[in-house]
Structure 1
Amino acid sequence: MHTIYQTTITRIGDFAREALSDQMLITFREGAPQDIQDYCFIHQHGQTEGELHRDAYMELADVRYPVTAVGDVAMQNLRELGHITLRFDGSDQAEFPGSVHVKGITPDDIPLGSILKFID
């Protein structure tokens, strides 16, 4: 398997876990404005190697999820800002241009230090 992107969660915003109850996880790279950080899982910004696509996989804290849809600007946002909105709803159409949808059970929590990666 080829790693498209890999990063480590280094900080969890005060309200970031609340999005998990809505089947959503929002990430941003370190250095984001404070008001944005409060709602995000903050991570070390990594390099992208290739493009994220449907039928790739996301791994988060050793759980693998199939990618079912990728919005038009999701990879650009990830490359430039480390920002991605993950939806755990298995939709085959991206809800928003920056959304990435995966199939699987939404984690109850994501521990600090968790590895997030996309592979194909």
Structure 2
Amino acid sequence: MTRDIRERFGQFTYGGIEFEVHRLALNYDQVEMWRPPENPAKESDSRFEAYAAEFGESSWELDAVEPATLADLVREQINDLIDWEVWDKIEAQELAYKAELEELAKKY
């Protein structure tokens, strides 16, 4: 799935945008922790043999994980990527611009 997403983004952006895809879920540790309901793996899938050899004949759907759990996971990963020092500087600048605009607006 991760590879498929990379390929599709490449097609949609015509290769003109740099991006990274980080797989966040669903991995086996998360399956053990969150215990989503099992689905039998599809034997008709061309990847079944390799999948079954590694994980057995059960599979799990990301859709079965609580939305709040996924939102927390995404939020945590995004927060890890933010340079908070830069964020704080930009936020302070934004507040200064906002105050300046409010003062200008009072004159009209």
The answer to which structure has the higher helix fraction is 2
Greater relative contact order (Cα 8 A, min sep 6): structure 1 or 2?
Answer: 1
- Which has the larger strand fraction? 1
Higher CA-based Rg: 2
